[in-house]
Amino acid sequence: MSSAPLFVPDHIPPDRPREGALLFLARGMDVLVQEHADGVAIPTGAAFPELAAAAHYLGALDGVDCYAAGFAKDFVPPERYKAVAARSLYKRVDDARFAVAGRALAIVEWDLTHRFCGRCGEPTLLVPGERARRCPVDKTPFYPRIAPAIIVLITRGDTMLLAHNAQFPEPMFSTLAGFAEPGESLEECVAREVKEEVGIDVKNIRYFGSQPWPFGRSLMVGFTAEYAGGDITVDQKEISEAHWFSPDNLPRIPPKLSIARQLIDTFIERVKGPTAP
C-alpha cells in the first residue's frame, strides 16, 4: 500500500532548475491545469518558463519542487491547458496537490495585493529569505494574511443544528461559521455568532480541529458546543433557515473536503457508532 504524498513547505527557493517543478498558476480562485484523457495534471515549469522564473517557492511534494505564480486576465493558455475553479480539483487530483493549490491561491493573491505600500503608496519589494514584501521608504512589512474564522456544530441530545446560508445557491445545510472580530477570543466568537445568526445560547464550547480554507483566505477553527437555551430565530441576512436534525433525517450536507463535514460525520459516528468500511 503506497503512502500519501508528503509536502514539505518552505519559502526559500532551492538552487536547482525549475523545468521539472510543479507550477501552480493561479488567478483569483482559478488555477491552470493540463487536461488529458485520464483527467487533469498540474503543469511543470518547462511549459511556462517565464512564469516559473518569477514564481514563489512553496515547498517540495515528494521531493518535487512546487512554485506558485499568477497569470493575467488576458492570458491565453496553450492547447490542452484550461483555467478551472480550484475547488473543482477536489478528487480530480490527490489531496496533497489539492492542498498545495489552495496554498498557491493565497500566496499569489498576497503578492498581487501588496505590490504597493498601504501607508505611502511606494512600490514594495520582496524580502530575501522571507515570505514578505517591504516598503523601501517607511520599511512597513507586508506578510501573507489569513482571517481567523470559527465553525461550530451545536448539538442537543442526539440532534444537531444545521442551517442554510442565505448566500448558498443550492439547498444545502451546514454548520454555523463566522469571522472573529478584534478583541474577542475564538470561544467568544462562537457564542456571539451563534446568538446573532440563530438566536440561541450555547455551552461547553470545545475545540475540535482546524482547516486552512484558501477559498475565503481564512483559517477555519472548528468547535463543538451544546445547546443551552433559547428558540431558533434566524437573522434572515446570513441564515435563511435552521433546524435540529437527527442522523437518520439529514438534509443535503457539505462534501467531505470541508471541516463542516468532519464535524457532522464525527457527531453521527458518536450517536450511531462507526460505520462499516
Which residue positions form the known binding site?
87, 117, 120, 130, 135, 143, 177, 193, 197, 238, 260
Helix residue ranges per DSSP H, 54-180: 95-113
Instruction: Give the type of residue at 208.
Output: F
- Give residue for cell 466568537: 189
Angstrom distance (rounded) from CA 274 to CA 277: 9
168: CB partners within 8 A, 6+ apart? none
**117 membership: H or E segment, kind and range:** none
Q: How many CA atoms lie within 13 A of 153 on its CB side?
A: 27
Angstrom distance (rounded) from CA 190 to CA 205: 8
Question: Binding-site residues for Zn(2+), please?
Answer: 117, 120, 135
β 133-134/125-126 pair status = antiparallel
Angstrom distance (rounded) from CA 18 to CA 55: 10
Instruction: Give CA separation, 19 vs 7, 44, 146, 167, in Å.
Output: 19, 6, 31, 42
Instruction: Return phi, psi of residue 45, to 5°.
Output: -60, -25
Q: Which of 150, 157, 158, 159 is nearest to 194 (CA)?
A: 150
Grid coordinates of 190: 462562537
Question: Binding-site residues for a divalent metal cation, please?
Answer: 177, 193, 197, 238
Instruction: Give the type of residue at 178.
Output: G
Question: Binding-site residues for substrate, please?
Answer: 87, 130, 143, 260
Give yes or no for a contact between 197 and 163, defined as CB atoms under 8 angstroms apart.
yes
